């Protein structure tokens, strides 16, 4: 077991002085809590876009960063894979960036943080009464099992395939329910 802070750089999300104003052609994508879709723990395709003239470099997201929702009733981890050239996560998130990709896989870490034992460990760290949350030092001390890189990548690949399959199955279930409802409504119409 290795402390998370030994595997990743943990940075708090951006705090803006003012509420960001939507600008359809803005150069900066602003990821907020509402952009994390449930139950798949992935980002929506349409976060707020705005114009932010200066953003600290460490706040800009890079592919394979992990966004960890630190405040609120749910604390999912989301692997950032979007093609947005300039994106930031708001202060409800911690941005986790793997120090050495030859030692730790971001997909594996995301999976583990969302797994049953990972979430149990995360829940044990929560503090606060009105808006429960997890502090950066507490998250950094979270112990993570780290198998060899090949095993990590395999786990991440299987977990991603399972997530995609569940999403497709839910979509298919919805379409099937709609088709059955239409067939039943057609029976009503044809019997009148």
Give the domains, in start order, of the chain with CATH numbers.
2-146 (3.90.220.20)
Residue 183: pLDDT band (50, 70, 90) is confident
Phi, psi of 28 (to 5 degrees): -115, 130
pTM for the full predicted model:
0.86
Higher pLDDT pick, 97 / 168: 97
177 phi/psi in degrees, rounded to 5: -60, -40
Please report the pLDDT score of residue 190 as a whole number: 85
CA distance linking residue 94 with residue 66, whole number of Å: 8
Q: What SS3 state is found at 81?
A: coil
Q: What is the pLDDT of residues 98-137, one digit of tens each?
A: 999 999 999 999 999 999 999 999 988 887 666 678 999 9
120's enclosing H/E stretch is helix 116-125
Which pLDDT does position 45 carry in this prediction? 85
- List the structure tokens of 115: 């797994």
Q: For residue range 27-76, what is the model confidence (pLDDT) as tens digits? A: 899 999 999 987 767 888 889 999 988 888 889 999 999 999 998 888 99
pLDDT value of residue 38? 75
The pLDDT assigned to 80 comes to 95
């Amino acid at each position: 077991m290795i402390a998370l802070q030994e595997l990743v750089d943990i940075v708090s999300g951006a705090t803006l002085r003012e509420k960001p104003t939507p600008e359809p052609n803005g150069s900066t994508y602003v990821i907020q809590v509402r952009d994390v879709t449930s139950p798949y723990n992935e980002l929506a395709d349409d976060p707020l876009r705005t114009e932010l003239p200066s953003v600290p470099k460490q706040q800009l997201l890079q592919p394979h960063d992990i966004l960890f929702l630190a405040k609120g009733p749910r604390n999912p981890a989301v692997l950032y894979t979007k093609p947005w050239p300039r994106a930031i996560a708001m202060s409800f998130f911690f941005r986790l960036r793997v120090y050495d990709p030859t030692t730790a896989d971001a997909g594996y870490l995301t999976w583990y943080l969302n797994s049953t034992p990972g979430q149990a460990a995360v829940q044990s760290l929560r503090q606060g009464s009105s808006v429960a949350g997890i502090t950066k030092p507490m998250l950094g001390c979270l112990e993570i099992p780290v198998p060899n890189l090949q095993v990590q990548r395999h786990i991440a690949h299987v977990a991603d395939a399972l997530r995609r399959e569940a999403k497709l199955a839910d979509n298919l279930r919805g379409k099937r329910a709609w088709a059955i409802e239409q067939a039943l409504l057609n029976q009503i119409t044809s019997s009148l």
